[in-house]
């Protein structure tokens, strides 16, 4: 179901967990002992009595410079994603105008246009002690803005991310959270709690069971309609919703992973509620590189193409401040669509999902 993600051996490295020779984590438990939280195997949270941030993640130096502990393994090359130019930048590579700065940019030969940066928002990354401006957006007019990145030297093109800010209003966010809290959460991995609205899936055996799936919940119907009104999501037909709750007290996070690609299709669509966070993208081929995608409260992110299939995504424990609820909608893969091997199951799933009369599975 929704909170299951594809793991491979590299996740063990990414999880960054040290075990002693006995296989026990310092002062806590053996990885093979049953635990009362939702963690299994290498997954850990504060309920297991173990916090990655306290014991295993060494303070990350700012942008990989001046390594405090001289530990090559902990060096990070952090790039900050800008959704306006779809590129990730070393934060030091561009001059960031301070909040409220008035800049004068040439617009045409004939006129000079005053632009300002008053709509900038700042997001904190506790782990690396960086305050990120969400965009380097400058306002050209009431309807037009652009970012200040114009020379792509040194930038990384991260294909497949789209962010829609303020996808829901504050009132709608309150309605969604109240509705979500009317259903019980179940403990999941790494300190998260979850609610699933989707078929029961065995990803390894590639089998699905439709019997327990009763559809997406009624409170999500207005989101579906709003998504379909957006050009990026015109043909988006979700067959699964997974609500994840992250609390800083539990050390909740999600380790680097790729989402399943057998049942789930191209676009992963997540609505970020209650607090801002950073979605981190990494490659197995470069242990140091991290692209940080800041997600504002009430914004929607669409992850597809390279960002979906080539880059792993994660949320660091340090980037959960207070409580966060993520609603992730997923669509069918080609195999389950018209002409695909499992077209029939796909049609059945769609029919159930879009009744919007669903109850969470297994709660
Ligand atoms: O919490 C998020 O935004 C990401 C969740 C996620 O990656 C997943 O459920 O597979
Ligand atoms: Fe994921």
Which residue's alpha carbon is at the smallest distance from atom 8 of ligand 1?
3
Whether residue 16 has pLDDT greater than 70: no
pLDDT 10s digits, 284-294:
999 999 999 99
Which residue's alpha carbon is at the smallest distance from atom 2 of ligand 1?
326
**Confidence tier at 58 by pLDDT (50, 70, 90):** very low
Distance 258 CA to ligand 1 centre (A): 10
The DSSP bridge pattern shows strands 130-133 and 200-202 to be: unpaired
Of all helices (H) and strands (E), which one includes residue 307? helix 305-309
pLDDT 10s digits, 64-105:
333 334 466 677 888 888 888 888 888 654 444 443 344 334
**Pocket of ligand 1 contains residue 248 by CB under 6 Å:** no
Give the separation between CA 238 and CA 226, rounded to whole angstroms.
Answer: 13
Task: Provide the mean pLDDT of the chain.
Answer: 77
**Pocket of ligand 1 contains residue 315 by CB under 6 Å:** yes
Q: What is the DSSP string of 216-269?
A: S-GGGHHHHHHHHTSGGGTT--EEEEEEEEEEGGGT--EEEEEE-SSSEEEEEE
Please report the sign of the dihedral spanned by the C-alpha atoms of residue 213, residue 219, residue 223, residue 224: positive
Q: pLDDT: is 36 or 111 the higher one?
A: 36
Average pLDDT for residues 223-245, to the nearest whole number? 97
pLDDT 10s digits, 166-225:
999 999 999 999 999 999 999 999 999 999 999 999 999 999 999 999 999 999 999 999
pLDDT 10s digits, 18-29:
333 333 343 344
Give the separation between CA 138 and CA 145, rounded to whole angstroms.
Answer: 5
pLDDT at 144: 57
Q: What is the largest CA-CA distance in the chain?
A: 74
Q: What are the C-alpha distances in Å from 224 to residues 167, 199, 221, 241, 334?
A: 12, 18, 5, 11, 20
Instruction: Please give the share of the chain, as a percent, with pLDDT higher than 70.
Output: 65
**Pocket of ligand 1 contains residue 313 by CB under 6 Å:** yes
Q: How many CA atoms lie within 13 A of 134 on its CB side?
A: 18
pLDDT at 38: 75
**Pocket of ligand 1 contains residue 319 by CB under 6 Å:** no
Residues 6+ apart with CB under 8 A from 6: 203, 257, 258, 259, 260, 261
**Pocket of ligand 1 contains residue 3 by CB under 6 Å:** yes
pLDDT at 80: 87
| Beta-bridge partners for 278 | 294
Whether residue 13 has pLDDT greater than 50: no
Q: pLDDT: is 226 or 117 the higher one?
A: 226
Distance 181 CA to ligand 1 centre (A): 19
């Amino acid at each position: 179901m929704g909170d299951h993600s594809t793991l491979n051996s590299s996740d063990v490295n990414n999880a960054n967990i040290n075990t002693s020779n006995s296989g026990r984590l310092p002062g806590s438990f053996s990885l093979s002992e049953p635990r009362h939280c939702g963690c299994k195997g290498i997954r850990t949270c504060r309920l297991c009595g173990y916090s990655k941030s306290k014991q295993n993640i060494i303070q990350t130096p700012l942008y990989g410079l001046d390594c405090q502990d001289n530990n090559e393994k902990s060096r990070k090359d952090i790039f900050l994603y800008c959704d306006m130019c779809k590129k990730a930048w070393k934060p030091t590579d561009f001059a960031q105008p301070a909040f409220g700065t008035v800049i004068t940019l040439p617009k045409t030969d004939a006129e000079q246009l005053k632009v300002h940066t008053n709509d900038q928002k700042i997001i904190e990354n506790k782990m690396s002690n960086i305050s990120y401006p969400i965009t380097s957006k400058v306002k050209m007019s009431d309807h037009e803005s652009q970012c200040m990145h114009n020379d792509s030297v040194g930038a990384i093109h991260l294909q497949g991310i789209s962010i829609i800010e303020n996808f829901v209003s504050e009132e709608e966010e309150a309605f969604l959270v109240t509705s979500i809290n009317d259903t019980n959460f179940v403990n999941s991995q790494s300190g998260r709690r979850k609610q699933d609205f989707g078929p029961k899936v065995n990803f390894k055996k590639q089998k699905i069971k439709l019997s327990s799936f009763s559809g997406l919940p009624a409170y999500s119907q207005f989101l579906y309609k709003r998504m379909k009104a957006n050009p990026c999501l015109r043909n988006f037909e979700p067959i699964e919703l997974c609500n994840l709750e992250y609390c800083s007290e539990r050390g909740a996070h999600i380790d680097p992973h790729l989402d399943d690609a057998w049942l789930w299709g191209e676009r992963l669509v997540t609505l970020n509620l209650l607090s801002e966070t950073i979605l981190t993208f990494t490659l197995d081929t470069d242990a140091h590189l991290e692209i940080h995608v800041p997600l504002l409260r009430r914004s929607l992110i669409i992850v597809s193409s390279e960002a979906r299939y080539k880059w792993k995504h994660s949320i660091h424990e340090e980037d959960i401040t207070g409580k966060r609820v993520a609603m992730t909608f997923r669509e069918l893969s080609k195999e389950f669509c018209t002409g695909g091997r499992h077209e029939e199951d796909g049609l059945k799933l769609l029919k159930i999902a879009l009744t919007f009369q669903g109850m969470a599975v297994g709660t």
